[in-house]
Amino acid sequence: MEALKGVKILDFTHVQSGPTCTQLLAWFGADVIKVERPGVGDATRKQLVDVPGADSLYFTMLNHNKRSLTLNTKNETGKEVLTRLVKECDVLVENFAPGAMERMGFGWEQIQAINPRMIMASVKGFGPGPFEDCKVYENIAQCAGGAASTTGFNDGVPLVTGAQIGDSGTGLHLALGIVTALYHRTHSGKGQRVLASMQDGVLNLCRVKLRDQQRLAAGPLTEYSQHGEGTPFGDTTPRAGNDSGGGQPGRILKCKGWEQDPNAYTYFITQAAAWPKICDAIGKPEWKEDPDYATPNARLTRLNEVFGAIEDWTMTKSKYEVMDICNPLDIPVGPILSMKEIAAEQSLRDTGTIVEVDHPERGAYLTVGCPVKLSASPADVQRSPLLGEHNDEILRDVLGYDGEDLEAVWNSGAVGDRPAQAAE
């Protein structure tokens, strides 16, 4: 049974942040009606195109299980259709530039007046304040949310990360806000405004770095490699390279084949409890009792030497052999997996984390399925809709247009040109 069955989402999202959110809600069973500009659609349909003429992977991988309605919301009939949609739906989700919904005539006040039960959820780059009017993309959010200043090596430039913490991360935050507001509505009977700003979302994910900013007042951050290397700390949380963010030192270390394979590496954590087993495994049993190495505090000023010795050992093994040896010993390690390896990983296929989907324009492609698994409500990944694929179906079944009324909507141009097979 789909957990969100019966919940209708009016989906005005585009690009990545908003679509991630509504895709999750669709996987949990909501009916997601994606509204797009006639003849144009979500800009990502035609970005990073790999199969000429087909919707891009950028679009298809973010818009599964949705229905597509093309609607010009600046056309008078389009506004009437949109008003009916607002009455029918439970949640409106949007991530337009600030002020776009208001300019369309569908700001929070108008939405509440049309349907007091409606939840209106938005992603914006920034929350209220000096930057609230700015347009924002992923990497800007990573920079403004504190991630870039704390990512990279201490002697290098700030770095952005491949994990889309600004877009997909904020989409996740917004989805939680929406489900929470839906729960609140079950006893209040009222909708509410839900806002997830990308800066807030990134900062939430960088919480440990604000922790370290405050710890600096009490002295050097001893678990950072730069402490043992004798590099003084400044007055702000530094970039920590591949140091682990917690109290158990860790590093990325070379494994056998690293000279040819850019991903022949493992992450290795010197968890305190596992230290004796680490010493035995790497052939340094004397370090178990030696006061210079035996305790976590003693090791903090020797991390380069410690990890150097561990790397001498990991370089004699493949990243999978390191995993096979360390796991039974409760030593936390993890291989650096390439996207090629992840795509081929059978266990990820078995759990529905990697899914092969068929698409009428582009054929079969791989996507990432729902990352959250509900035991009674498993997600069934369905291909993304073609532009305007569900126009007739939504106008009839959701909004009750029929006969002349339906013809009038088509003839107004509000939903674009009628597809050849439907026009008769």
Interaction with ligand CAO in 21-40: which residues (CB under 6 A)? 35-37
As measured in angstroms, the least distance from the Cβ of 132 to ligand CAO is 11
* Residue pointed to by tokens 């035995």: 280
User: Of 368, 354, 377, nearest to 20 (Cα)?
Assistant: 368
Element (H, E) at 123: strand 119-124
| 167 assigned to active site | yes
As measured in angstroms, the least distance from the Cβ of 140 to ligand CAO is 8
Residues 6 or more apart from 336 whose CB is under 8 A from it? 252, 263, 264, 265, 266, 267, 319
Going by the DSSP 8-state scheme, the letter that residue 374 receives in this structure is: -
CA distance to 18, 19, 94, 412, per residue, from 15 (Å): 7, 7, 11, 28
Q: Per the residue annotation, which of 31, 167, 212, 392 is the catalytic one? A: 167
Residue 94 contacts ligand CAO per CB under 6 A: no
Q: Please select the residue that binds ligand CAO; options are 73, 115, 199, 237, rule is CB under 6 A.
A: 73
* Residue pointed to by tokens 């178990």: 288
As measured in angstroms, the least distance from the Cβ of 41 to ligand CAO is 9
Residue 71 contacts ligand CAO per CB under 6 A: yes
Residue 138 contacts ligand CAO per CB under 6 A: yes
As measured in angstroms, the least distance from the Cβ of 92 to ligand CAO is 13
Judged by CB under 6 A, the stretch of 92-100, 185-193, 226-234, 291-299 that binds ligand CAO is 92-100
The rounded radius of gyration (Å) of the Cα atoms in the chain is 26
State how far the Cα of 63 lies from the Cα of 66, in Å rounded to an integer. Answer: 6
Residue 142 contacts ligand CAO per CB under 6 A: no
Residues contacting ligand CAO: total by CB under 6 A:
25
Residue 81 contacts ligand CAO per CB under 6 A: no
Residues 6 or more apart from 53 whose CB is under 8 A from it? 361
Going by the DSSP 8-state scheme, the letter that residue 126 receives in this structure is: S
Q: Please select the residue that binds ligand CAO; options are 125, 169, 228, 250, rule is CB under 6 A.
A: 125
Q: Which is nearer to ligand CAO, 15 or 394 (CB)?
A: 15
Judged by CB under 6 A, the stretch of 99-107, 289-297, 313-321, 344-352 that binds ligand CAO is 99-107
CA distance to 34, 90, 165, 210, 419, per residue, from 189 (Å): 25, 11, 33, 38, 40
Residue 216 contacts ligand CAO per CB under 6 A: no
Residue 111 contacts ligand CAO per CB under 6 A: no
As measured in angstroms, the least distance from the Cβ of 85 to ligand CAO is 11
Q: How far apart are the first and last CA of the chain?
A: 38
Q: Please select the residue that binds ligand CAO; options are 60, 95, 151, 314, rule is CB under 6 A.
A: 95
Q: At what angle do helices 17-27 and 168-188 cross, to 10 degrees?
A: 50
As measured in angstroms, the least distance from the Cβ of 182 to ligand CAO is 21
Q: Which is nearer to ligand CAO, 18 or 191 (CB)?
A: 18
Helix, coil or strand: residue 322: helix
Q: Kindly provide the b/e burial profile for residues 194-231, where b requires at least 16 CB atoms within 10 angstroms of the residue's own CB.
A: bebbbbbbbbebbeebeebeeeeeeeebebbbbbbeee
Q: Which is nearer to ligand CAO, 60 or 271 (CB)?
A: 60
Q: Annotated catalytic sites, by residue? A: 167
Q: Which residues bind ligand CAO (CB under 6 A)?
A: 15-18, 35-37, 71-74, 95-97, 100, 103-104, 123-125, 135-138, 167
